Amino acid sequence: MTHAEEPARRGVLNWLLGLWGGGVLASIVYPVARYLAPPDIPEAAALSTNAGSAQALAPNSGRVVPFGARPAIVIRTPAGELRAFSATCTHLDCTVQYRPDLQRIWCACHNGEYDLNGRNVAGPPPRPLDPYDANVTGDEIVITRRA
């Protein structure tokens, strides 16, 4: 063996060692990366939900009800009109509530305010709340997602 051959041989061996290490690493990283991504669980998209008695909801008050997996808010304006919105604040995902003293929908997390039409009027929320349709059948309020 000549001295000139030595570095070449070492280079090939190091390359093989790197290939081995890379192969082992890849065969660990790939399954782990796939495992970490949660599988999609198809969520039955609720199109409508019952939101309780219409009688029991006095003017200038509101009620948060589950709509599918997320909350919705149904309010009766001081004028007696029923309205429904998504109850998820458009700022950072907190759940909003009705404030009779302000006559507004209010988010406690960062003091965001929406008017009776769901429009963001004060504080940090960037967008209005998603509006839903609220109808009454018998005494039951029915909230429906708009198509």
Partner 1 sequence: MTDGRWRAWIDERFPLDDVLESLRHKRVPHHRYSIWYYFGGMTLFLFLIQVGTGALLLLYYRPSATEAYESVQFIVSRVPFGWLVRSIHAWAANLMVASAFAHLFSVLFLHAYRRPRELTWISGFLLLLLTLGFGFTGYLLPWNEVSFFATRVGTDIAATVPVVGEGLLRFLRGGDDVTGATLTRLFGFHVAVLPAVATALVAFHLLLVQRHGMSVPPSIEQRAADPGTVRSIPFLPHFLLRDLFAWTAVLAALAALATFFPWELGAKADPFAPAPAGIRPEWYFLWAFETLKHVPPTVAGLSGEVVAVAAMGLGALAALLLPLLAGESPRARSVVVWAGAAALLFLSVMTGLALRAAAP
What residues make contact with partner 1 under the rule CB under 8 A?
Answer: 20, 24, 27, 31-32, 34-39
Nearer to partner 1, 4 or 36 (CB): 36
Task: For residue 60, give both structure tokens.
Answer: 């200038």
43 vs 101 by CB, closer to partner 1: 43
Q: Work out how close the CB of 71 gets to partner 1 at its nearest, in angstroms, rounded to a whole number.
A: 24
Residue 25 CB, shortest distance to partner 1, in Å, is: 11
**Distance of alpha carbon 101 from alpha carbon 84, whole angstroms:** 19
In b/e form, how buried is each residue of 111-135, taking b as 16+ CB within 10 angstroms? Answer: ebbbebebebeeeebeebbeebebe
Nearer to partner 1, 15 or 20 (CB): 20
